[in-house]
């Protein structure tokens, strides 16, 4: 064990040394292609099975400093040739296969350029299962390559995949993948056949990102990320039907820890609960706390859309997903709450609520019996008090306003018995029903008739 630790430390030092050496040379892309040795070391450090560990340790012992140095010097000089007597060639095929599983396509391609031996392995399609398609982006063209190599989906090792739903052959292929943890979905699901087909795939995933309402999506590659454009299959989030998204219920996706819906301006994320650090200065503290996080940042879209309708349209997709944190963050265009949150069954157990740039009547927060932390930023509390006379002296007006507001909050105190923390950032209040109507009109909200006068 001690020898293994020493070896691990030594290899770690080598890895660090090489990293800096290559970084200083400004050849980061070459380094990423030729991380074979580094990944070998990494795999040795993280493998837990005894047999694998012994195998890796034995292989590492065969790789001396000189062979590692030769690889990287050769890469820097663009004349890398692994000679037939290279230690790498003597690694067992099974071990080499596991080493390659850590590389992306460019890395594997670089390996094939190392020697005829590696090129032959790649040509046989043996390593394709680890690296194809590039960045996990499954298209009809990518499938052609896999089929030409006769590679069955069951043996592919990719964990992050991206695909659109417009081609049945792609859906059929990805539905048989066995190691997928993260899915980027580029289109809506259209029928029960697609739901049934993809059920095994979604049953194993940890995160899903839906980009079907966005004209851009991201393909992650080691050391870089590429923004790609495509035609969104839906334009407005609240136009979506329930069957357009995968079934997010606990039964259908038992491993799911996060779902992200991304469109231009309107985004929502559900993620599994974490502890909220209310005293943190980190601006992402609420986002990191898990639960349901909805943000609306696009002026043009917001003006065409009722925030409340969009907000409510999210809830059915969550099925029976529990959440204790709700964050509604509007951008430069204010949103408005028009209903009591506790009327929604999913909100009854809320512990943390953050409202940013939202106009609402305080009574809409009544009934949240588990509310522990409340954050209001740039919110406007709409106080219904048609008897308040704006023409009276300022001091009297202030006094009456205060009483009015305190009455509104005192009513809430009955239900917020667990409240432990409050954040008030530039919170304002607005009185009188006439003004309320004015606010609602200017927020372009279709408010219910009961509020109209």
The site for other proteins (CB under 8 A) is made up of 278-279, 281, 283, 332, 334, 357, 373, 375, 377-378, 380, 394, 398, 401-402, 405-406, 408-410, 412-413, 416, 419-430, 435, 438-439, 442
CA distance 316 to 320: 9
**Residue 239 or residue 303: which is nearer to other proteins going by CB?**
303
**Residue 193 or residue 409: which is nearer to other proteins going by CB?**
409
Query: Minimum distance from CB of 426 to other proteins (Å)?
Result: 4
Query: Minimum distance from CB of 422 to other proteins (Å)?
Result: 6
With the C-alpha atoms ordered 326, 286, 269, 255, is the resulting torsion angle positive or negative?
negative
CA distance 295 to 328: 6
CA distance 371 to 349: 8
Given a contact cutoff of 8 angstroms between Cβ atoms, the answer to whether 286 and 325 are in contact is: yes
What's the number of CA atoms in the CB half-sphere (13 Å) around residue 196?
3
CA distance 419 to 417: 6
**Residue 81 or residue 422: which is nearer to other proteins going by CB?**
422
Provide φ and ψ at 228, rounded to 5°: -115, 155
Query: Minimum distance from CB of 356 to other proteins (Å)?
Result: 9
Token pair 């695909």 in the structure block, residue? 163
Query: Minimum distance from CB of 134 to other proteins (Å)?
Result: 35
**Residue 108 or residue 330: which is nearer to other proteins going by CB?**
330
18: left (phi over 0), alpha (psi -120 to 50) or beta: alpha
Query: Minimum distance from CB of 246 to other proteins (Å)?
Result: 32
Given a contact cutoff of 8 angstroms between Cβ atoms, the answer to whether 135 and 104 are in contact is: yes
CA distance 210 to 184: 6
Helices and strands in the chain: count of H runs, count of E runs: 17, 17
Q: What Å distances lie between residue 7 and 45, 59, 65, 68, CA to CA?
A: 10, 12, 12, 15
**Residue 257 or residue 415: which is nearer to other proteins going by CB?**
415
Query: Minimum distance from CB of 365 to other proteins (Å)?
Result: 12
**Residue 279 or residue 452: which is nearer to other proteins going by CB?**
279
* DSSP classification of residue 402: H
**Residue 295 or residue 312: which is nearer to other proteins going by CB?**
295
Query: Minimum distance from CB of 265 to other proteins (Å)?
Result: 16
Query: Minimum distance from CB of 377 to other proteins (Å)?
Result: 7
DSSP labels, 175-243: TT-SS--EEEE-S---SHHHHHHHHHHHTT-SEEEEEEESSEEEEEETTEEEEEE---S-SSGGG--GG
Query: Minimum distance from CB of 283 to other proteins (Å)?
Result: 4
Query: Minimum distance from CB of 411 to other proteins (Å)?
Result: 9
**Residue 5 or residue 410: which is nearer to other proteins going by CB?**
410
360: β partners: 381
**Residue 148 or residue 402: which is nearer to other proteins going by CB?**
402
Query: Minimum distance from CB of 418 to other proteins (Å)?
Result: 9
Query: Minimum distance from CB of 370 to other proteins (Å)?
Result: 14
Nearest CA to 45 out of 8, 87, 83 is that of 8
CA distance 9 to 103: 22
Provide φ and ψ at 353, rounded to 5°: -130, 130
**Residue 205 or residue 330: which is nearer to other proteins going by CB?**
330
**Residue 231 or residue 422: which is nearer to other proteins going by CB?**
422
**Residue 114 or residue 374: which is nearer to other proteins going by CB?**
374
Q: What Å distances lie between residue 297 and 331, 425, 440, 453, CA to CA?
A: 4, 19, 18, 31
Q: What Å distances lie between residue 327 and 46, 167, 193, 351, CA to CA?
A: 37, 36, 35, 11
């Amino acid at each position: 064990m001690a020898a293994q630790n020493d070896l691990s430390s030594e290899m770690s030092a080598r890895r660090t040394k090489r990293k800096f050496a290559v970084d200083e040379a400004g050849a980061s892309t070459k380094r990423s292609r030729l991380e074979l040795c580094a990944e070998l070391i990494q795999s040795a450090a993280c493998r837990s099975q005894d047999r694998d560990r012994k195998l890796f340790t034995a292989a590492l012992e065969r790789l001396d400093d000189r062979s590692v140095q030769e690889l990287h010097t050769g890469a820097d000089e663009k004349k890398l040739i692994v000679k037939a007597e290279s230690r790498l060639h003597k690694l067992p095929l099974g071990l080499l296969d596991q080493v390659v599983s850590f590389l992306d396509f460019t890395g594997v391609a670089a390996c094939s350029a190392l020697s005829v031996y590696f090129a032959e392995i790649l040509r046989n399609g043996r390593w394709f299962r680890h690296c194809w398609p590039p960045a996990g982006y499954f298209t009809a063209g990518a499938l052609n390559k896999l089929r030409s190599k006769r590679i069955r989906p069951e043996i592919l090792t990719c964990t992050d995949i991206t695909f659109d739903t417009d081609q049945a052959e792609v859906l059929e292929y990805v539905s048989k993948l066995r190691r997928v943890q993260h899915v980027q979905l580029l289109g809506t699901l259209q029928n029960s056949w697609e739901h049934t087909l993809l059920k095994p795939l979604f049953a194993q995933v940890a995160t899903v990102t839906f980009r079907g309402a966005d004209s851009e999506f991201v393909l992650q590659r080691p050391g870089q990320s590429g923004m790609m454009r495509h035609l969104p299959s839906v334009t407005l989030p609240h136009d979506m039907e329930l069957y357009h998204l995968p079934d997010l219920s606990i039964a259908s996706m038992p491993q799911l820890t996060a779902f992200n819906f991304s469109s231009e301006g309107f985004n929502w994320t559900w993620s599994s609960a974490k502890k909220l650090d209310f005293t943190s200065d980190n601006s992402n503290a609420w986002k990191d706390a898990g639960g349901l996080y909805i943000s609306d940042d696009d002026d043009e879209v917001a003006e065409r859309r009722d925030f409340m309708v969009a907000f409510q349209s999210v809830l059915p997709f969550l099925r029976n997903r529990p959440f204790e944190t709700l964050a509604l963050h509007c951008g430069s265009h204010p949103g408005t709450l028009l209903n009591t949150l506790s009327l929604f069954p999913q909100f009854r157990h809320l512990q943390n609520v953050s409202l940013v740039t939202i106009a609402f009547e305080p009574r809409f927060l009544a009934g949240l019996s588990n509310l522990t932390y409340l954050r209001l930023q740039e919110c406007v509390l709409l106080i219904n008090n048609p008897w308040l006379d704006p023409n009276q002296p300022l001091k009297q007006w202030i006094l009456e306003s205060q009483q009015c507001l305190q009455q509104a909050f005192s009513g809430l105190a009955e239900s917020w018995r667990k409240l432990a923390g409050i954040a008030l950032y530039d919170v304002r209040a607005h009185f009188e029903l006439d003004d309320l109507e004015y606010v609602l009109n200017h927020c372009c909200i279709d408010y219910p008739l009961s509020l109209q006068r």
